Amino acid sequence: MGFEGLAMTETSEIETLAPQRPGYWSDHENHPYRRMTVESLEEFCGWPALKKLISYLDVPIQKTFFVTTFQSGGRVSEVLLLKKENFNVLPDDGVVKVSGMRCLKRYRKIDRYIDCKGHARWHTELKYELRKTFAIDRSEPFTPILERHLESITDPENYLFPTSQRHGKQFLKTHVSDESLKVNGQVPYSRVWAYQIIRSINDNLPRDLKGKLGLLKPQLDEKGKKIKDELHLWLHWFRSQRASQLVADYNFDVLDLVKYFTWLDLATATRYANKGWRGLTAKMKNAHAVYT
């Protein structure tokens, strides 16, 4: 995925990049960390469990990255692209305004082909759009962590999560060019960096916390057959948890979520946001129905 310079404007302009190859997961069906879907989640895990999870991150930049991933509800690649200039702290409004965040994973089909296994696939072009401006409430538990990190960055054009390390061949294959990523001699961390962190966290979580995070349920394949006795923590988990938290804490409806995340349809919102039986029960109780 190409990370060209980020224009600080809300336009619907689309950038089209080179055709994409099938991703890693399409050819690695037996990988021990199978690709997870948000349908595995039932509800927002709650702030106590979420804060406990974040406490397992000892390295400040790692902690801030996952806090930002949750609060923005962005895909990992989108969060890695963020710069200080995307954020504006508004004390009078009590929010942190986020503008010009890239909205990735939008594709245009080019041509159809049959892979070596006889499956129909498409070559696609990746399109980049900008997400609509959204806000993060300053009273949320994680916002101080984000704001302290923003204050530590002097140049507004700098990435929030930069590294001076050289990226490997696999990283470069999925970008237009390494040079296009550089800002003041630095590039953002790769998704592999984030993936390795989340794997390490998952392997060290105590069982009781996994239960509170909704991970103690069978992991099923596409046909509903059990693969493992429990789910593992994955990167998109934070995105779905944010959607579910917006529903649980702020009573966002489907249309609100579509606007907040700049989703293309209502179906995506209903997939990501889950109220769970507790949330639905609370809604029933708050209705104060009179049965006469």
Domain membership of residue 169 (yes or no) is yes
Rounded to an integer, what distance in angstroms lies between the CA atom of residue 231 and that of residue 116? 30
Residue 205 lies in a domain: yes
CATH number at residue 178: 1.10.443
- Asked whether residue 126 is domain-assigned, the answer is no
Is 27 within the bounds of a domain?
no
Residue 53 lies in a domain: yes
Determine contact, residues 265/259, Cβ cutoff 8 Å: no
Q: What is the pLDDT of residues 160-173, one digit of tens each?
A: 999 876 666 555 55
- DSSP string computed for 134-192: EEEETTSTTHHHHHHHHHT--STTSBSSEE-SPP-HHHHHTSS-SGGG-BTTBEEPPHH
Q: Are 172 and 95 in contact (CB under 8 A)?
A: no
30 domain residue, yes or no: no
CA within 13 Å, CB half, 180:
13
pLDDT by residue (tens digit) across 172-183? 555 544 456 778
The total of structural domains in the chain comes to 1
Q: Is the pLDDT of residue 248 over 60?
A: yes
Strand partners, 186: 183
Asked whether residue 1 is assigned to any structural domain, the reply reads no
Higher pLDDT pick, 39 / 111: 111
What does pTM read for this prediction?
0.76
190 domain residue, yes or no: yes
Least confident of 21-25, 97-101, 194-198, 227-231: 21-25
Domain ranges, residue 56:
35-99+135-286
Angle, helices 143-151/60-72, rounded to nearest 10 degrees? 120
Q: Which residue has the higher pLDDT, 17 or 77?
A: 77
DSSP bridge partners of 219 = 228
